[in-house]
């Protein structure tokens, strides 16, 4: 298929389905079938590998960004970065290239929904929120340990993949990922340039300062808050939200049972990066400790409400318990002694009867028993 003119790209990519069901092709291998959504830097489509017949997700850089060398450079770097990130909780990138004068990524096609759609102003059960957060932090820890920062952690980039074994978190959209110390970073990220989503941006992102792993920690603290509270920490238009990110503390969680989580969130979202957890691994470890300690999760029912208190029974008094235990031991010893005495007596009687002269002893024994029982002696 001949390359489309650059001016026709937006229309061609957004109205890709033709009457025959065939859409625009990339590098002669991937045919677009339907739009799926939008990422931080481009459109995402459902496509199919023409030779293999396999369905994939294809992400294409927006035309307005493609005209800027800086944004295109970021998109090409996303392909390199994601190609190195092989982790069960990170979306897999299988191919990349440039066609129709537009860079594109080919990713695994996921079945499910993202966390933003799952929330929709509703709080999650505490146990489920913890599981999502722990899996997302597993992915972020993997990213941080390889010198990358996501820079756009938010519910819309946390995908809940439906699998045969249940849901699995997949971290999406590394279009804003930044190598901490790349040689070309000065050419790609300019001082004072603000990148990210206002509702989840750390103060250093708002001011365009240097970001690192603690920037993602801040965003994950806000995501955890939203899952537990059922609402965003900061709301309003973008300018108001950005002001809140710079000045206001995250509101406290209302339920006393969530105190452990609240302390963790307050530290993760501290305005000063030095006061936050060092990276996603440290935040994950702290969250796992809160869960293991039972400071919040066991105290809440699956629907988020408080569990009914366990029925308590009065404990027996210590003195009574010891006395009862002593009587039981004494009784057991007495029974054992009586049983042993009976066995010895029976053995003695048998010996007296069966030994020589036993007939005479048997007759004497019978008379003694008869007199004890006051019964007449049986006639001989």
Per-residue pLDDT reduced to its tens digit, 58-77: 988 766 555 555 566 766 77
pLDDT at 291 over 80: yes
Quote the distance between the C-alpha of residue 71 and its chain's center: 32
Confidence of residue 282 (pLDDT cuts 50, 70, 90): very high
The answer to whether the beta carbons of residues 224 and 135 sit under 8 Å apart is no
Residues 6+ apart with CB under 8 A from 179: 77, 81, 147, 148, 185
Q: What topology is assigned to 1-109 in CATH?
A: Phosphorylase Kinase; domain 1 (3.30.200)
Domain extents for the chain?
1-109, 111-306, 333-380
> Is 152 known to be catalytic?
yes
Query: Does the 111-306 domain belong in CATH 1.10.510.10?
Result: yes
pTM, whole model, 2 decimals? 0.69
pLDDT at 204 over 50: yes
Confidence of residue 139 (pLDDT cuts 50, 70, 90): very high
Average pLDDT over residues 258-276: 97
From 114, 138, 152, 279, active-site residue = 152
User: What backbone torsions phi and psi does residue 162 show, to the nearest 5 degrees?
Assistant: -85, 120
């Amino acid at each position: 298929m001949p390359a489309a003119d650059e001016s026709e790209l937006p229309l061609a990519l957004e109205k890709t389905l033709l009457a025959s069901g065939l859409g625009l092709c990339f590098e002669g291998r991937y045919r677009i079938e339907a739009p799926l959504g939008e990422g931080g830097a481009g459109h995402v489509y459902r496509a199919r590998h023409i030779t293999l017949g396999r369905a994939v997700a294809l992400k294409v850089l927006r035309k307005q960004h493609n005209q800027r060398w800086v944004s295109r450079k970021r998109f090409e770097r996303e392909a390199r970065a994601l190609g190195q990130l092989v982790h069960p909780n990170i979306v897999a990138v299988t191919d990349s290239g440039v066609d129709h004068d537009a860079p594109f990524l080919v990713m695994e096609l996921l079945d499910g929904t993202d966390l933003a759609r799952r929330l929709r102003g509703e709080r999650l059960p505490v146990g489920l929120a913890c599981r999502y957060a722990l899996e997302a932090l597993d992915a972020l820890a993997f990213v941080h340990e390889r010198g990358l920062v996501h820079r756009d952690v938010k519910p819309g980039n946390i995908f809940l993949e439906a699998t045969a074994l249940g849901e699995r978190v997949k971290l999406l959209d590394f279009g804003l990922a930044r190598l901490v110390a790349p040689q070309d970073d000065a050419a790609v990220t300019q001082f004072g340039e603000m990148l990210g989503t206002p509702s989840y941006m750390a103060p250093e992102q708002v001011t365009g300062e240097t970001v690192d792993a603690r920037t993602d920690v801040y965003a994950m603290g806000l995501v955890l808050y939203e899952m537990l509270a059922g609402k965003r920490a900061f709301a309003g238009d973008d300018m108001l939200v950005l002001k809140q990110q710079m000045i206001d503390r995250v509101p406290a969680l209302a339920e006393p049972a969530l105190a452990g989580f609240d302390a963790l969130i307050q530290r993760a979202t501290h305005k000063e990066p030095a006061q936050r957890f060092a990276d996603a691994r440290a935040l994950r470890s702290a969250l796992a400790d809160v869960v293991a300690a039972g400071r919040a999760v066991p105290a809440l029912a699956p629907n988020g409400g408080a569990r009914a208190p366990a029925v308590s029974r009065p404990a027996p008094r210590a003195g009574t318990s010891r006395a009862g235990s002593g009587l039981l031991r004494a009784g057991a010893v007495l029974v054992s002694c009586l049983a042993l005495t009976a066995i010895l007596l029976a053995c003695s009687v048998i010996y007296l009867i069966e030994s020589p002269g036993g007939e005479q002893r048997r007759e004497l024994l019978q008379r003694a028993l008869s007199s004890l029982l006051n019964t007449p002696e049986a006639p001989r």
